[in-house]
Structure formats: structure tokens, C-alpha cells
Amino acid sequence: MANLKSKKSRKKQTPFFKTTKFIVACVVTACVIMLLVFSSSLWRAYPVQGEKQFVSINAGDNYSRLIDRLARQHKVHFPWVLKIYQKLMIHDTLKAGVYEIKRGMSVRQVLSMMSNADNAQMSRILVIDGTTFKQLLEKLRKDPLIEKTVVNLPEDQMVQALGIPYSNLEGLFAPNTYFYNKGESDKKILLDLYQHQMENLNAAWANRDPNLPYKNKYEALTMASIIEKETSLDSELNQVAGVFIRRLQQGMRLQTDPTVIYGMGDKYTGKLTKDDLRTPTAYNTYTMAGLPPTPIALPGKKAIEAAMHPDHSDNVYFVATGNGGHKFSATLAEHNQAVQQYLAVLREKKSGATP
């Protein structure tokens, strides 16, 4: 009889994982884990060297990319938690600018601060080598942290307002990364970039190689802009410069596509045709001799130096290899062979074969 009672009592016993104690323990454990995760992510102090530091946000950046970038730099932990928090709690977008982060600020405070452009301390202006003046103007016009005083003027009025002694502003502003206080005027920024470019040009001109085919340093700047647009490889800048300078010296036309594209303006749709190369413009170096009348982009310091110090080979031709870089040639026969090799690479890539 006693055995029967004990069996019944064992049957009625509740499994531990269903008991209140177990459920409470699970809830407490989950809370502790979440507390630790939040402490290591949202509530964690943002790592600052010194009393403060600046973080730059570019136009077009978003929170997801920013959080991933900070995670790669080991500035934040548990990026997925930060992304969920941003989606639920920060309803504004990430605003471009340079933000001051003070020691002791939490990651949550930093993320929230960057949703309001009024919190930005400075504006970051990135001017990439080969950018056109038109593209620079668009960047300045769209920057909410810059005071607009000249960028919306017609170019002739802009020239007058800036006091720059050139009628065309292309090429006159130095590519680089610049930082300005919030509310700085576009005029001040443009004059700074102009001053930097003139310093680069004057220094290179004073130390130029002898017997270059330039009438003045403005023509050298024009050449530098063409060099800048023809190659993205620093190792090729002097070689490209050498080709174009020897062409000028030998009375050959430059025949460079970037000048044709620049002369077409808004008519260029992304692909040059034979008709485009045959259509005369002030910048079409296939139909005209010599240099175009103005630069075609904003050349960087390295391109300006290359225009003053070309290589000393006999090359007067070059063509893309199709795999990065260019093939330089001294004779038309060599050049034609290089063109055929380039076309073969394109065909192989189009067919899906490995070149």
C-alpha cells in the first residue's frame, strides 16, 4: 500500500524545467545577458584618445555602414544591437559633418548625436583628384554646413566675386581633404583651394625640366589635368606626360579621349562614338592641334609634377591593357599590336574566358 502511494506521488511531481523557480532563473539569466550586452554596446563609453576626438561622416553615409566601420576599428561591440537600436530609436538619417566626441560619451549618445547636423562642429570637404570644377560646385551646394555666397552665381560673376585672374575656373582648385568650421563660407573654401593649387603649380613650375613645350604655367596646368584623367596609376603619370609632351614637340595631335568627353559636356552619355571623335569642339584633340584652351579637371599635385617632369623614353603612343594600366609604344606598329592585344583581352572577358 505504501509503495502504491509513493508511486502516485512521484507521478504528480512537476519536472524542474516547468517549475516557477526554473522560469524565474531563465528570466533573470536573460536579463543579465541583455544587461551585459547593452553595457558592452550601447552604454559602453566610446573610446577616446585624450579629452576629445573628431569623427567624420561623409555625405551619403548611413548608420549601417558607420556601425560596421566602427566595429572593424574595434570602437564598438555587438554591431547588430546598435543597428536594432538605431532602427527602433533613431528615426533621422545620419548627417554629414565632423562631430566632436568627448571623453565619457556613450556609444548610444554618439549615434544619436550624429542624426542632427546642428551637432556637427566642422564640415569635411573631400575633393578627389580628377574631379571637375562642376562636380566641386555641386558638392559645395549640397553641403548643409557651408554658407552659400558664390556657388550659385553664374561663372563670370563667380570669377569676379572670387577675384581670381582667370576667366575659366576649371583646374584651379587643389584636390585634397579639407576641414572647415560649420558655417564657413563657400567663398573662403574656394579661395583656400585656389591658393593651394597655385602653390602646387608655382613650386612645380619653378623646378620644371628644361625645353618643355609650354608657353606658360597655365598650359602646364592644362596638361596636368589631361594626365590626371588618363591614368589612375601614380607609376604611369610621368610616362603619360612623356607621351603627350613628345606629341606636342613633334607636331602630333594629342588624340586623348578625356578632352573629347569634356568638350561634349552634357551630351556625353557614357560611351564615345567615332562621330564624337570626328566632331570638332574647342576641346576635341582629335580634330585640333595643341592643347585645349583650359584644363579639363582638377589635377592633383602628383599630376602637376608629372607635367613638369616627363619620362625620357621615345614613346608617343599608349593604350589600355584591359587588365589595369597601359601599354606604351614608340612606333605605330608596336602600338597597333598593343591595340590588338587589348581588343583580344576584351573579347576574352566578354566571352567569359580567363585572359
pLDDT band at residue 355 using 50, 70 and 90 as cut-offs: very low
Q: 55: which strand partners?
A: 99
Average pLDDT over residues 266-293: 94
237-277 pLDDT, tens digit per residue, is 999 999 999 999 999 999 999 999 999 999 998 889 999 99
* Beta-bridge partner residues of 126: 177
% of the chain residues with pLDDT over 90: 54
pLDDT tens track for 176-223: 988 888 889 999 999 999 999 999 999 999 999 999 999 999 999 999
Cβ proximity of 277 and 286 under 8 Å: yes
- Which of helix, strand or coil describes residue 66? helix
Section 227-232 average pLDDT: 95
Say what the pTM is.
0.76
4, pLDDT greater than 60? no
Q: What is the pLDDT of residues 304-350, one digit of tens each?
A: 999 999 999 999 999 998 888 899 999 999 999 999 998 888 888 87
pLDDT, averaged across the chain: 87
What pLDDT is recorded for position 84? Answer: 84
Q: How far apart are CA 122 and CA 99, in angstroms?
A: 7
Q: Kindly provide the b/e burial profile for residues 316-338, where b requires at least 16 CB atoms within 10 angstroms of the residue's own CB.
A: bbbbbebeeebbbbeeeeebeeb
- Give the pLDDT band of residue 353 (cuts 50, 70, 90): low
